[in-house]
Structure formats: structure tokens, C-alpha cells
Chains A and B, each alone.
Chain A
């Protein structure tokens, strides 16, 4: 608006609001700009995100149930009712599937409408908490309210996060060793997971080396979260030496062959690899 005013007033000495600006119809000017802020509370909730307009000049009264009178161009001057920025109202939903980080099957959530629509209702993780649905899932809702399945909301998320990581145990190629808890702590830290030794559970039969038969082979370590949930983590033994000539090649994580150290773990490891692709679908 200011730019227009400047363009209209070439002489800086003149007052901007003096008669130098051409006025077309002085009678029209007398209609004041409507104060639309008073009209904001009248706006319906579904009108929040569409332009809501108010006529500045009143339309002449027509006959009751009669045709409208001829409209002048001034009747198409509108004032937009500018509403304060706001989010969509909250919607109550019931989860039908386990959503990591949000809750298990049967939890009731109250979240903003846009998020509920895009992230829960359209992927069919949840349904609306209508009276009929509440009756339908009553047993599930009760179960969730009475006994919490997970210690915290993020506990389920962390189990799935851990399932995506493979931990490499870099062991010495020359000196003899058996894998202990502090080995596990260090190798977990190398792959980005910091934990204390209390929550680590190694396999019952000890793994010792150096042993060329165990090179590049897998075993399973269980990790306890909040002393309640258990998460299995896939680990691999790699022999390491600082001499460049004797170094062995290290394959990237989650690449075949998935050979186990203990034959009992074979089915477990295969299931682990198979499930990983499904787990990756979730957003963390």
C-alpha cells in the first residue's frame, strides 16, 4: 500500500492524504472499513481454513422470496475475516495395530486432526473413537488401561530400533580371548548404542578365539530395556589385526551368508533378517 502511495505522490512536499490523490465517488468513501475482528467468533469451525468474507456495502432489500435486485459493482467489495493461525481440532482415535512410539493395540489417543488423518486413519492403524467402535474394542481398551504392556511409550520403539542394527565384535587375531560383557559394551558403543553392562546377556556357552571357523559368523545377544522388555540384537565376530597385509575383509551389515556360530540360533537369525524389512516400514 505504501508503494502505491509513493507512486501517486511525485512531490514529496505535498501531504500524501491531501486532495492530490484523485477520488472517484465521495459518497462511497463514507462507508467505513468494517472491523472484521469482531466477526471472528461467529465463524464456524469448518470455515477455519477457507476464506470467509463480509460485504462492505449492504445489498438493497429484495421482496420476500423474490428475485434479487440489480447489484452494483460496489456490492462486490469484500473484507476478508482474517482468523488467528490455528491447528485443526483434536480427534479421538483407537489404535487397531501396534504403532511403535505411540501405543499398542487398543490405546486411545487424542491428536490433531491432520496428523490423525494422514498418519493413523489412512494407513489404517486406527479407527475413530465412535460409540460403536468403543463398544467393539471395549475389551482391548480395558486391557490396555489396566495392565501396561510396555514400561514406557518409547520402549517398544527402542526394541525395533535395536532390531535394525548389527553389532560387529572386532576381536584380536593373535592373542587368545573369550567374549565378556565389557567386549559387548565396547562393540555396542562402536555401533552407536551406549548401555551399561547390567542389561547385556551373552549366550550361555562362551565364545573364545582366535578361531578361523568363527570369522564372519553370527550370534545373538539379548538386551534388557528398563529391566522389563527384552530385545534381541544380531552380532558378528570379525578378527582384527592392525597390520594392513594380514587384514581380513569385512562385509557390510545385513549381507548374506548368515552363518551362525551355534546351530540352535539358525532359525532365529533367519527370522531376524526376514522381519527386519517389515520393521523398516515404521517411521521412527
Chain B
């Protein structure tokens, strides 16, 4: 691949950008995504916050004093670079990802590339609100977090989207929130349904119904939903032939009214024109 400066699109822009500020293009600031509602943008912000520390010990203090010399130094938190593969979005890894880096076991040996990943297991989760058992790929951390919050639903509803991150977890959370918001839980026993609704309904204070509608969607899905909603609001498109027929009928009705009132329709200026039409030598169809 050519260097980015040699690509014709960037050629002029690169030099100009020294003097002018070009904001980076983003699906939420350009194109159709610009029109998405504020509720979705709020969710997007929640999703892209800094996640809580999983693969490192976080540095919480801003400064540290050396006990021997008394010199104060500034500290900063730099977590390892974590990446989330496609399989991450099909399972519930509890926020853990994969870290790519180097292993350097001995000073006199070359460092070797290494991937650090958690151990996976296929296990089952049960959602009380949806009354649903699901077999997924999980880590032990997920089970620990479920224990911490006393149940799978509580875990999903209490953790922000930036920590869940997985597509599957966000979709389950979306379904739970929608079921609670509309109050249509799938339980057949009405007593049990009411009991479960009562235990989970206090979460609805945190999320308003417009926010729930846009929760857990990717940008592409949100745009699709937005377009669909707009089409729905516009109503069914009517064919033009109906409109023309309507207009034509109106015209006919007007003509009939004119005949009744014996108002003469507009006639050609002289009879001669029609006569000359008949004997026109240049006419194509000679009868």
C-alpha cells in the first residue's frame, strides 16, 4: 500500500491540515448518523467510556512521593492494549479480552511474541426476566460477577455498557429492558410474573423508555431503525395514478357542470383550420 501522503485523496489535505482544523469524520457526525436521536448518542457515549481494569492493576493515585528522597513524581494509568475478536461478541467473557505483547523471560534471550487470553468454558446462564436458559462460551470471571450481583439479570442491569461490551450481552440486556419497560414478561403464571416484575422494576428509574428503545444497537442497526421509523411516520406511499384519476374526475365533473349551465366550451377560432387540416398535403396518413 502506498504511503498515506501519496494517496490522491489525502495529498492536499495533509499539507492544509497544518493550517486548518479538519474534524475527523465519524458515523455519528456525518451522513445519516448525524440525524440519530440524542438517546442513541447517549448510549454510544456510555459504550465508549473507559472500561474497568481487568488485565492490569490500576494506578489510582495521581502523584507519589519517594519515601527516601521525598521527591514527588506524577503517575499515570496505562492499561495494556486489549483487543476483542469476533468470538468475543458471540459469548459472555465478562469484559476480559485478549492481550498481544512480548514475553521476555530472561535478559539474555530474545523476547518472543505472545497472546494472553482467559480460559473459556461452555456453560449455561439463566435470565429470570426472559425465563430463558442459554448455552454460551463464558469465563470464570463471568460466573464470579454473576455471584457478585446475585444473579445474571442483576449483573447485566447494574453494569454499564462499556464493561459488558459483548454484542450478545448487550442484546440480552436490551431484551430484558424492553420486556420490563412494556411489562410483557413471558411467564405463564401471573403471580410469578408480577413478583419478578416487582423485583426488577426499580431499574427502570435509571433508564427512560426512549433510551431503552435505542439501547444496545450498533450504528448500522440504529440507522436502519431510524429510517424504518421515518418511513412509518411518512405512511404508505400512494401511486400517482390515483392522484391523476382524481384530478381527471374533477375535470370531467366541471365540464358536466358547464354543459348544464350552457356555457359554450372554448372553440377554435375559425372553422377553416379544421378544413385545412384535412387537405394538408404533408400529412403522413392519407386517408
B27 within 8 A of A: no
Query: Is the Cβ of A55 less than 8 Å from the Cβ of B80?
Result: yes
**Min CB distance, B184 to chain A, in Å?**
23
Q: Is the CB of B57 within 8 A of A50?
A: no
- Residues facing B in A1-37 (CB within 8 A) are 1, 4-5, 17, 21, 23-24, 29, 32-33
Q: Is A51 an interface residue (CB 8 A)?
A: yes
Residue in chain B with minimal CB distance to A57: B104
Cβ of B186 < 8 Å from any Cβ of A? no
- Tell me if A68 and B78 are in contact (CB < 8 A): yes
Cβ of B156 to closest chain A Cβ, rounded Å:
16
The answer to whether B141 and A49 have CB atoms under 8 Å apart is yes
B123 touching A118 by the CB < 8 A rule? yes
User: What residue of chain A has the Cβ atom nearest to residue B143's Cβ?
Assistant: A117
From A71-79, A153-161, A232-240, give the one contacting chain B.
A71-79
Which segment, of B110-118, B171-179, B240-248, B267-275, faces chain A? B110-118
Contact, CB under 8 Å: B78 / A78: no
- Quick check: is B90 within 8 A (CB to CB) of the other chain? no
Chain B 138-172 interface mask (CB, 8 Å, partner A; 1/0): 01110111111011000000000000000000000
Chain A nearest CB from B111 CB (Å) reads: 6
- Cross-chain contact A51 with B76 (CB below 8 angstroms): no
Closest residue of B by beta carbon distance from A117 = B143
Q: Does B37 contact A (CB under 8 A)?
A: no
Number of B residues with CB within 8 Å of any CB on chain A: 46
Q: CA A73 – CA B110 in complex, angstroms?
A: 13
With A48-B144, A88-B143 already in contact, the answer to whether A39 and B74 are too (CB < 8 A) is no
A59 proximal to B (CB < 8 A): yes
Whether a CB of chain A sits under 8 angstroms from the CB of B102 is yes
Any chain B CB within 8 A of the CB of A139? no
Pick the most buried of B103, B143, B144, B150: most chain A CB atoms within 10 A of its CB: B144
**Hey, which chain A residues are within 8 Å of B108, CB to CB?**
17, 21, 23, 29
A41 to chain B, nearest CB (A): 10
Instruction: Assess whether A43 is interfacial by the CB under 8 Å rule.
Output: yes
CB-nearest residue of chain A to B56 = A53
Instruction: Take A61-B74, A88-B140, A88-B143 as given contacts and tell me if A49 and B80 are in contact as well, using a CB distance cutoff of 8 Å.
Output: no
Asked whether, in the complex, the Cβ of A76 is within 8 Å of the Cβ of B101, the reply is: yes
**Quick one: closest A residue to B118, CB to CB?**
A50
Q: A52-B57, A88-B140 are known contacts. Are A61 and B118 too (CB-CB below 8 A)?
A: no
Chain A residues in contact with chain B, CB under 8 A? 1, 4-5, 17, 21, 23-24, 29, 32-33, 39, 42-56, 59, 61-62, 68, 73, 76-78, 80-81, 88-89, 91, 113-114, 116-118, 121-122, 124, 128, 130, 132
Q: Which of B's residues lie within 8 Å of A, judged by CB? A: 53-57, 74, 76, 78, 80-81, 94, 96, 99-111, 114, 116-119, 123-124, 126, 133, 139-141, 143-148, 150-151, 199
